[in-house]
Amino acid sequence: MAKAAKTAIKKDPKQAAEAKNYTKVIKAVRSPKTGAYTFKEQMVHKDKVKEFLAQK
């Protein structure tokens, strides 16, 4: 589990509520040249996770 920046969240409750709507998504992407896998990481809004995973 990653450490959270708790001090920033405690100061502003609006930011805390908005931050809970984001998810870190990690997608394995295969290189067409070598066939090796690389990983693409991105912070995505929870409503757009399926769109991110559907991208090629």
pLDDT tens readout for residues 1-11: 566 666 555 67
Residue 3: what pLDDT?
65
Residue pointed to by tokens 């100061």: 11
pTM (whole model) above 0.75: no
How do residues 10-26 score in pLDDT, each as one tens digit? 677 777 777 889 999 99
The pLDDT-based confidence of 47 (bands split at 50, 70, 90) is very high
Contact call for residues 22 and 46 (beta carbons, < 8 A):
yes
